[in-house]
Each structure stands twice: as structure tokens, then as C-alpha cells.
Amino acid sequence: MKDYFSIIPLHELQWLHKVISITENIPICITISPARKEAFGFPLIYVNKQFEKTTGYNRDEIIGKNCKFLQPEEPIQEEETQYKLIKKCLETGIPTSVIITNVKKSNIPFHNLISLKSVIDEDGNYLYSIGIQTEITAEPINKIDMQNVVDLINILSKIKKPII
């Protein structure tokens, strides 16, 4: 997936660098996947340190993979609607937030609040999907935390690319 960075325009690299510098050390999981046809399946091109800490996966193990590796081996029937919403969001770029069960590298399941938001350029092209994940197994999520997640995803998706 490192080759992916060689095919994107400089202004997108600059945008990615900005987003990474903002999100690398925040205490919420952040992922970025390209929406391009050349990068079929929304492979991860970036995860922050909190994602590594929460899931137990080192980024070198998962860059280039779709986030489906976090799903349980046996699908949870009651979560089928959430998976359909995620799929529709990724296909269309329409934002969504869902709670699903994921599994850490240590095989420990956890409830994951996932918010997905598309990054659209000024020409209307769907370039990236930003994911914000929050483990909610240990403590219930409150409205303030939920609003902080929504606010963060909106800020990240609106970082403007530099004019060249």
C-alpha cells in the first residue's frame, strides 16, 4: 500500500500529512482509506497510535487491508443492518455512525462506535473515507463524547487542500 502514495497528487499528500499530524496522538482511533477505483475495497492507508493501542494491531500488519479483519469470524446476525449501513456509506460517501462488535488481535471482542465521513474535493470527487472508532465496551458512551466524535470527523473532512 505504500505504493499508493506514489500515485496521488501532491496536494492530496499535503492534506494527508496535515490530517496525520493532527490525529496521530489523539486518544480516539482514526483510520483513512482511499475511495479510488485503483484502491479497490477501501484499504487502510493510515491508522493512528490509538487505533493500534485499542485493537492490538501494529499498523505495519494492517496497512493495505480492509477493516473487515476486525469483524468476528461468525457474523452477528443482529448487526446485519449496521454492516449494510457501513457498506452504503462507503459506496456513496454518505456519512454514518453505527455500533458494531469487533475483535481485537488478542481475540477479545469489543463494542465499537464507528463514524464514517467522506472527503470530497472541490470538484465533487469522493477521495477518502475517514473513520473514527471509539471502544465503548468498558464504559457507556455519553452525548458529549458522541458529539465530540461527530465534530472531529467534520473538522477532519473539511481540511482544505493547499492551492498550488
Question: SS in 3 state form for 64-104?
Answer: CCCHHHHCCCCCCHHHHHHHHHHHHHHHHCCCEEEEEEEEC
Here the cell at position 71 is 469483524
- Residue 100 phi, psi dihedral angles, 5° rounding: -130, 165
pTM over 0.85? The answer is no
pLDDT in tens, 108-141: 999 999 999 988 888 888 889 999 998 987 655 5
pLDDT in tens, 16-49: 888 899 899 988 999 999 987 666 788 999 999 9
User: What is the C-alpha separation between 5 and 93, in angstroms, rounded?
Assistant: 21
Q: Is the pLDDT of residue 55 over 60?
A: yes
